[in-house]
Amino acid sequence: MKSKKSIKDIITSLNKQPVLFIGSGFSKRYLGLENWEELLKKFISDISNDEFKYEMYASKISEEDYYGKQAAIAKLLERDYNEAVFDNSKFDNFKIKNKDFIKKGISPFKIAIAEYFENINYDIKENEEIKLLKEIQQRNISGIITTNYDKFLEKIFHNFKIFAGQEELIFSNLEGIAEIYKIHGTSSSPETIIITSDDYKKFEEKSDYLTAKLLTIFLEYPIIFIGYSINDKNIKNIFSSIAKCLNQEQLEKLKQRLIFIEYSLENTSIDTHSIDFNNGKIIEMIKIKTNNFSELYRNLKEIKAKYSPRVIRDLRNEIYKLAEDSNPNSLVVATGFENLNKLDDTKFYTIGIGIKEDGYGIPITAEKIYEDIILDNGYFMPDLIVSYYLPTLLKTNSGGLPIYKYLKDYKGNISENIKNEITKRTELKDFLNKQQNNLKENYRNTLNTKTVNHIISQEGNTEAYKKIYFLEKDEINLDDLENYLKNIITQNLVSIKNNSELKRLIRIYDFLKFRK
């Protein structure tokens, strides 16, 4: 459906600096580099004079190859290219120059690809678009994800830190801002290059961490895709991985923050585009077809930030280095800027400033939520808890979860299972099962005084939580209940884990204290 909005309307409505997701069309535009098919044909010409060699490879594969036609052709080409390198004297100088790489078992085909991109002339003439790109890298872009091997992005976004390949992404300390993630490898490390169907298979087998990282980024930032076709196999696979992790309601929240820029010589047009995964899940996005990239970059400059992403990244990095060297008894927490004034100022903290890290790569458990209700020590961001964790965790916690502490500061839409939780339990008796409701009156008749402290004195610290929920609302002193729960949890008198009765009492406390 065509939109009446302009590029300016869409870009300036973004609530924070976006992440750019960059494909080969970007390098083709500014460096004149080949697309995937053209790149394969170039390397075919190194080993064969047959002008139909590419078509011969194509005839040997299925159009429905899981990892795409080009990846399947690359697999066949790699085999022939490597044989040619070892058998043909034409490549003797290549072997001498790259002896160390070859001895390490790195594919000569990938070494040749890396060498080609390393030797490109990156000193391009600075036109208006290049000038604008250099300007927006200062403080208007949060980060970059790319499947490109070349170094054009490093030249433009020279203040950004580079992470290339899965291994580096998994084992490095990522700050999550002012960074470039080269997820399919880089020309400076040929072993990282992902190009054949076998490479993609290995990549997918180890992709859980990357998917979690991408999911966090997709939920945290607006994403602008540049240099891809809307039908690109890589993009569809990435969207498929994201869709598997989210329900349709969560996917709906992404549609105004996913922006796909598609090159077109025609007049700029804006509409919506949907990808249907045939499983009830659909990802929608804004699609902008244009050749006017200057307009895009100019409007990105209007997304203001007080500090540049590089400064924030460096600050975070230095502060977390301090955390590694500091007193091990210090408390390290993850929280947002707006929550800093809630920290206990009687304790020493080592604080990393930046993007919240209690996200999808490091999941928050139900037990952590229960603990935070009483100890207030999680410093969780309500938006993250309500929009993602509660809907997800409620699916596997049939008894419910404490929800009201986070709902009281939440302004967005809530999921259906949270709505059900609200309507299912509107008074204290709704938190008890049938057997407990039957036992309630008999127990109450044994009490001389119906208070929290009396039950504690009568039952003892380790058993009282199984009886306090028999009190009525006006009989429960919340301060006394809070003190009791804090005591048994901090003193490790009772564990929250696998303790349905303690969790029930914490849900009741949450209901009484935080429900509006």
Residues of the chain with CATH 3.40.50: 7-33+122-300
The pLDDT > 90 percentage for the chain reads: 61
Q: Which of 27, 4, 244 is nearest to 144 (CA)?
A: 27
Whether 325 shows a pLDDT value over 80: the answer reads no
Average pLDDT estimate for 478-483: 94
Statement: residue 26 has pLDDT above 50 = yes
Q: Alpha helix locations (H) across 326-363?
A: none
CATH number 3.30.1360 given to 7-33+122-300:
no
217: pLDDT strictly greater than 70: yes
Q: Say if residue 348's pLDDT is above 80.
A: no
DSSP readout, 158-199? TTSEEEEHHHHHHHS---SSSEEEETT-BTTBGGG---SHHH
Q: Supply the pLDDT for residue 23.
A: 95
At residue 244, the pLDDT reads 84
* pLDDT at residue 327, as a whole number: 47
Which one has a higher pLDDT value, 382 or 279?
A: 382
Q: String of b and e for 145-173 (b: at least 16 CB within 10 Å)?
A: bbbbbbbbbbebbeebbbbbbbebbeeee
CA distance 64 to 100: 37
Distances (CA, A) of 207 to 17, 183, 202, 203, 204: 26, 10, 9, 6, 5
Residue-wise pLDDT for 136-170, tens only, equals 887 889 999 999 999 999 999 988 999 999 888 88
Both tokens of 222, joined, read 């607006």
| pLDDT class of 27 with cuts at 50, 70, 90 | very high
The confidence score (pLDDT) of residue 359 equals: 42
Q: Is residue 371 a contact partner of residue 490, using CB atoms and an 8 Å limit?
A: no
pLDDT for 330 equals 47
Q: Is the dihedral of CA 133, 139, 142, 143 positive or negative?
A: positive
With bands split at pLDDT 50, 70 and 90, how would you rate the model's confidence at 246?
A: confident
Report strand pairing: 282-290 vs 269-276: antiparallel
In degrees and rounded to multiples of 5, residue 148 shows phi and psi of -80, 150
What are the tens digits of pLDDT across the range 107-131?
999 999 999 999 999 888 889 999 9
Mean pLDDT of 459-466: 94
Closest CA to 260 of 15, 17, 18, 16: 18
Give 276's strand partners: 282
Is the overall model pTM greater than 0.75, yes or no?
no
